Chain A
Amino acid sequence: MTPTVAELLLGNFVAFSNPPPPEAMGDFMTSRIGIVGMISMLAAQEADRGAAARIWENGAIRAMLARGGGYGPFAEVQDGEATIEALDAVNADLRRALIALHEAVEAAKDDDLDREILDLYVKMAQARRLDLPPFPAS
């Protein structure tokens, strides 16, 4: 997925690597520091849950592709290293296959499998959710 946590955290560094112009101090800099803080906090969640979420999603998509095998064939893609980068590379291939499957299911008006895929989307989105605490209103 993009941007990656590595890119985001590098970005947090880059954001402050040069002195800002005078007009960017004050409210703008306060806001920027807040966003960098939020990214750091959410990156901790991603570090904790990210690999597990991807392993689950890759498995769930594989199961769906097997379920819809009649619309295939879909190339078998196995997880390699359990790093987020490696899992994302596999995930990209699996997601492309899932898109192809869903298009075929829609064309065939297979409402039952369509419903299963839509339910899978809900689970996929939830598995990747990031939780911000309710910041007080300004």
Chain B
Amino acid sequence: MSLTEQLEAYLTRTTGLPTKVVAMARIPGGASRETYRFDADVGGTIKPLILRRDPVGSLIDTDRRLEFLAFRSFHGRGLPVPEAIALEEEGAELERPFFIMGRIDGGKAGSPFSAPPYGDHARAIGEQFFGHLGAIAAADPLTLPISEAAEAPALDACWKRELDYWSGVIEADELHPQPIVRAAIRRLRANPPPPAQKLSVVHGDYRTGNFLHDGEGRVIALLDWEMAHLGDPLEDLGWAMDPLWCYGETERVCGMVPRAQAIALWEKASGLKVDLKAFAWWELFASVKGQAIWTSSAKEFRDGGLKDPVLGFSGWYTARRQDIILADRLSQGMALLEAQA
């Protein structure tokens, strides 16, 4: 039975109406889950939908229930987040866990490996990109659906939980010794940041390439919540501003706006302040987390029979770019990080 037929069987059973799936097409990107766009003809009503199904192997091992609840937490709250519609953790007719969400058409995602994609709209995109991230940081996570599944760490434990997790990934998946990232991990442990200002929903992968824009200066969808969790809101800001996602630009972060403006936009929307010493920690951590993901990609590429070139590319080219960023940060940025010790 094809995936289309499996999906038709599932939707017919769950809606109680005869359902046809048309124009099923896999979407590139979304490397942690297989992502498909399709139209469901449910008893004569056409619904534009997205299917996110667990892969056999993946860049990152994430909890699809958390991702589903993250979409549900922010849809309809003033942010361009698609509606989460159905979650099947046992896989049902599709044999692997999946969820279905609403589809937002008319947008495109800018690859972080292309030239800066926003043109004359860079400033407008940047204002929304960092403003939306500030709005996510401002929300009280304990009032949102994601709190049903996400652990709420103590404010002074956010950094350690994340560092323990991602350094553990490197420990488990490393296939060749990596002195640069290991030095960064030691620096982070020796110089912990102050407690988080507040507990926030952390998107976990908020960056260029993980949102859609309409080509005319409007952000129309915030996507890829698969690493969502609760934690220090500075984590997302540090990840978003990692040079890996900035098209090689040094004047503008994310190919959008100057760094100081990005921080000001986030502060205004979140009502929080960016402590530069704490932020230095989270920026270095972002590059450690990145290297952990690329380390896992390399292992998964090999363990999975070399089938997915995205995993191979990530574990090779992207890992080397991340090493350059990490080495530069260690060499140039330690004074600020260590000043808080």
Interface residues of A (CB under 8 A from B): 1-3, 7-8, 10-12, 14-15, 21-28, 30-32, 35-36, 38-39, 42, 88, 91-92, 95-96, 98-99, 102-103, 106, 117-119, 121-122, 124-126, 128-130, 132, 134-138
Contact = CB atoms under 8 A, between A and B. Distances in A.
Contacts of A106: 186, 190
B25 A14 contact: no
B28 A27 contact: yes
Given A10-B306, A11-B301, A38-B313, A98 B179 contact: yes
A31 B313 CA distance: 13
A26 B25 CA distance: 7
User: Which among A1, A126, A129 has the greatest number of chain B C-beta atoms within 10 A?
Assistant: A1
A14 B308 CA distance: 8
Leading 8 A-B pairs by shortest Cβ distance: A31-B28, A137-B117, A11-B306, A95-B177, A28-B26, A2-B175, A121-B327, A125-B327
Given A99-B179, A138-B111, 7 more contacts: A12-B309, A14-B307, A32-B310, A103-B186, A117-B183, A119-B331, A136-B115
A130 B294 CA distance: 15
B312 to A, nearest CB: 5
Interface residues of B, number: 55
A126 B328 CA distance: 10
A35 B314 CA distance: 10
B250 to A, nearest CB: 15
Q: Is the interface of B mostly helix, strand, loop or mixed?
A: helix
B330 A3 contact: no
B15 interface: no
Interface string B136-177: 000000000000000000000000000000000000000111
Given A1-B176, A14-B305, A39-B309, A137 B114 contact: yes
A1 B174 CA distance: 10
Contact of B312 (A39, A102, A121): A39
Interface stretch (B54-62, B66-74, B269-277, B316-324): B316-324
Contacts of B108: 138
